[in-house]
C-alpha cells in the first residue's frame, strides 16, 4: 500500500472514531449501588523439573479458593433494596454495606497456603432518562450520596455512538 492510501485510511479511522463522540441531556432516574464482600485463600506451589533437553526449570503455580460466603447488598436511591444474608447492614454515604463474612481458617494448615485475601468490591450504576429512553453508566461507589441528592436533576451525559459512557454530573451544580 502506498503512503497516501495509508494516510487516508488513518485519517478516516480517526474521523470515524471522533465522529461518534457526543453529548446529550438526561435526568438522573436511579442510583444503584452494589457492594460484595468475601474472603479467598491464596495458594502457591513451586514446581522444579527437567525438560526434554535436560535443562532444569522452575515454575510457580498459584491459585485461590473461596474461603467464605459472598455477602452482597444492593441499594437503590439510598434505600436497601436487597441483601443475601441476615445481619445488620451499615449505611455508608448513601449505600448499605455488608460486614466482612467469617471465613474458614482451617486451610492455614495446608502446605501450599500463602495468605487470606479480603475483597471489598463496590460499584455505582447511574440510570438516566430522556426522550430517547433509559440508559446507564458507572461511577465510583463513593459518589452514591451525591447521586441520590441529584435525582431528577438534568445532567450532561457523554456518549459514543449513542452509548453512554460517562458524565461530569458530580461536578455540575444543581
- CA geometry: angle 45, 48, 50, nearest 5 deg: 150
The CA distance from 174 to 84, in Å, is 35
Say if CB 112 and CB 43 are below 8 A apart.
Answer: yes
Predicted pLDDT at 25: 82
pTM of the model: 0.73
Say if CB 95 and CB 78 are below 8 A apart.
Answer: yes
Closest among 38, 42, 100 to 69, alpha carbons compared: 38
Predicted pLDDT at 11: 63
Predicted pLDDT at 72: 95
Predicted pLDDT at 100: 93
Pairing of strands 163-167, 90-92: unpaired
**Counting runs of H as helices and runs of E as strands, what totals does the chain give?**
2, 10
Predicted pLDDT at 174: 40
Predicted pLDDT at 6: 65
Closest among 77, 65, 81 to 152, alpha carbons compared: 77
Predicted pLDDT at 16: 53
Predicted pLDDT at 170: 57
The CA distance from 77 to 56, in Å, is 59
Predicted pLDDT at 134: 83
Mean pLDDT, contiguous 10-residue spans, the chain (174 residues): 66 56 82 96 92 90 94 95 84 91 91 94 92 83 91 80 60 50
Amino acid at each position: 500500500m502506498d503512503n497516501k492510501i495509508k494516510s487516508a485510511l488513518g485519517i478516516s479511522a480517526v474521523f470515524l472514531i471522533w465522529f461518534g463522540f457526543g453529548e446529550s441531556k438526561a435526568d438522573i432516574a436511579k442510583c444503584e449501588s452494589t457492594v460484595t464482600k468475601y474472603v479467598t485463600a491464596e495458594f502457591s506451589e513451586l514446581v522444579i523439573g527437567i525438560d526434554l533437553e535436560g535443562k532444569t526449570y522452575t515454575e510457580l503455580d498459584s491459585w485461590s479458593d473461596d474461603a467464605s460466603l459472598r455477602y452482597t447488598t444492593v441499594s437503590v436511591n439510598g434505600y436497601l433494596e436487597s441483601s443475601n444474608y441476615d445481619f445488620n447492614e451499615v449505611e455508608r454515604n448513601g449505600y448499605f454495606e455488608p460486614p466482612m463474612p467469617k471465613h474458614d481458617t482451617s486451610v492455614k494448615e495446608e502446605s501450599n497456603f500463602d495468605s487470606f485475601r479480603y475483597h471489598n468490591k463496590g460499584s455505582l450504576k447511574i440510570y438516566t432518562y430522556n426522550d430517547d429512553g433509559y440508559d446507564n453508566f458507572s461511577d465510583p461507589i463513593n459518589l452514591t450520596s451525591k447521586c441520590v441528592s441529584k435525582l431528577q436533576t438534568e445532567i450532561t451525559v457523554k456518549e459514543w455512538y449513542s452509548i453512554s459512557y460517562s458524565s461530569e454530573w458530580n461536578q455540575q451544580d444543581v
